[in-house]
Chain A
Amino acid sequence: MNLKNSEAYKTFINGVWGDHPVFSMVLGICSSLAISNKVENALAMGGGVTFVLIATAVLIAPLRKMIPMRVRMITFMIIIAAFVIIVDKFLKAYVPPISRQLGPYVGLIITNCILMGRAEAFYIQNGTGLSIVDAVANGIGYTYALVIMAAIREVLGFGTFLGFRVMPHWWTNWVIISMAPGAFFLLSVLIWLSRTITKKEPQ
Chain B
Amino acid sequence: MLHLILLFFAAIFTHNIALTYILGMCPFLSLSRNINVATGMAAAVTFVVTLTAAINWPIYHLVLVPTHSELIYYIVFIIVIAASVQLLEMVMERFFPSLQSSFGIFLPLITVNCIVLAVSLFMILRNYTFLQTIFFSVGSSLGWMLAIVMVAAINEKLELIGDIPKGYKGTAIVMVIAGIIALSFIGFGGMLKIQ
Contacts and interface: CB of A to CB of B under 8 A. Distances in A.
Most chain B beta-carbon neighbours within 10 Å: one of A26, A103, A113: A26
B174 to A, nearest CB: 8
Given A26-B171, A107-B121, A181-B186, A81 B78 contact: yes
Interface stretch (B45-53, B67-75, B153-161): B67-75
B21 interface: yes
A183 B78 contact: no
Interface in A54-98: 73-74, 77-78, 81-82, 84-85, 88-89
A8 interface: no
Contacts of B172: 188-189, 191-192, 195, 202
A88 B20 CA distance: 23
A34 interface: yes
Contact of A81 (B75, B168, B186): B75
Tell me the interface secondary structure of chain B in the complex. Answer: helix
A191 B122 contact: no
Given A111-B113, A111-B114, A192-B167, A78 B71 contact: no
Given A104-B122, A110-B74, A111-B112, A29 B26 contact: yes
A2 interface: no
Contacts of A196: 166-167
Given A188-B179, A192-B168, A202-B169, A82 B22 contact: no
Given A29-B25, A113-B112, A192-B167, A77 B118 contact: no
B121 to A, nearest CB: 4
A137 interface: no
A107 B72 CA distance: 11
Interface residues on A, range: 35 or more
Contacts of B146: none
Interface residues of B, number: 43
Contacts of B82: 73-74, 77
Given A74-B79, A81-B74, A176-B183, A33 B25 contact: yes
Tell me the interface secondary structure of chain A in the complex. Answer: helix
B12 to A, nearest CB: 15
Contacts of A180: 19-22, 179, 182, 186
Contacts of A89: 71
Contacts of B29: 26, 29
B178 interface: yes
B179 A184 contact: yes
Contacts of B179: 180-185, 188
Nearest to A196: B167
A103 B113 CA distance: 18
A16 interface: no
Contacts of A192: 165, 167-168, 172
Given A196-B167, A203-B170, A108 B118 contact: yes
Interface of B: 19-26, 29, 71-72, 74-75, 78-79, 82, 111-114, 116-118, 121-122, 125, 165-173, 175-176, 178-180, 182-183, 186
25 contacts: A34-B21, A78-B75, A82-B75, A84-B74, A108-B117, A108-B118, A111-B116, A111-B117, A113-B112, A116-B112, A179-B186, A180-B19, A180-B186, A181-B180, A181-B182, A181-B183, A185-B176, A187-B175, A191-B172, A192-B167, A195-B172, A196-B166, A201-B166, A202-B169, A203-B170
Given A111-B117, A195-B166, 18 more contacts: A29-B22, A29-B26, A29-B29, A30-B114, A77-B111, A85-B72, A110-B78, A111-B114, A180-B22, A180-B179, A184-B176, A188-B171, A188-B173, A188-B175, A188-B176, A188-B179, A191-B175, A202-B166
